[in-house]
Structure 1
Amino acid sequence: MKRKFLEDLGLEKEQIDKILDEASADLGRVKGELEKARDDLKVANKTIDDIKAKTTDNDKLQAELEDYKAKYEASEAERVKQAKNHAVMDALKDAKAKDLDYMAYKLGEVEMDENGQIKDLENRIKDLTEAYPSHFEVNEPAGEPSGGQQQGSNGYKTLDTDLPKGDPSGTQSLEAQINAALGI
């Protein structure tokens, strides 16, 4: 709005000054809002450009995501396999299997239930002990062990060799033992 336009309308100088001051204030506020809108537009355009740049590699990101997903699934499958293996080996140890690996092989593939336990493991191991009794240690009844064996205090069984008993005290010297052996 121009001053001449207002003068031609017949307004006095004071009125024209007030109108122009008010219009100037409004114009300043509108210019500020316009600058803010321009700044916001710049930020929005930059954000759009950044998103466009990131989404151009979307195939690469998707491939990377699939790779991580495959690695996770493989490690989860390995964890389940190890959990099965440990549970089977522990159960075979408890059943006193002599060759854990062979008995695990004979047990075959096992399945886990929803609680993370192996399905029907006790019955399957019982079947193994019946099918392969020589592969499991058997608890002998109390009394004399079979086959001329004697149970030692350390849990080992010693065989009776039927050899003559020597001097258990170890008091006979080596020289005396050699002389006795040579008949001197």
Structure 2
Amino acid sequence: MKRDFLEGLGLEKEAIDKIMAEHGKTVEAQKQKANELSSSLDDLKKQLDARDADLKDLKKKAEGNEELQTKFADLEKQYKVDKEAYETKLKDAQLASAVKLALAGKVHDADLVSTLLDKATIEVGEDGSVKKGLDEQIKTLKESKPFLFVPEQPAKPSGFRVGGTKPGTGTTDETPGSLFAKQANEAAKVSENNPWK
């Protein structure tokens, strides 16, 4: 979310500061969650590396023993399955984190929008950011479901001003109600002076 957008809506500086502070907390919480996830995945990778080293050591010790060789083969198969599951989880977690960070501030609900995306076509770079595949899907979603996105342009003010003036514009402090009453009074004066009553 950009300060210019909020200023374009005519919000006061104090309100803008509060909104920006709250938005900053949200973005910071998402980054912290991504860091925690990355940290736990790094721990899992270290555990898998340690298990890999133990398997190599066990393989050397099992040479010449038929029963240990069979057990080792079973462990190796299980290790391969676990490693593939870990790599899939790691890839999915990195992708989900990158997508949520890329959507932060652009959509009203990043979790909802991320469920509408085809994650198979999105690629994540080494730095953890989205490389490609997201922009095209965002463009399509903006066209089909624009209500999911935070407006990029400031809303144009309506013709009515409720209290206050803008310097140099010549507008008064009249409210919509007072403008209506003024028009009704003028209409009544015209009908009083009407000789054709």
What TM-score comes out, normalization by structure 1 length? 0.44
Q: Which has the larger radius of gyration?
A: 1
What TM-score comes out, normalization by structure 2 length? 0.41
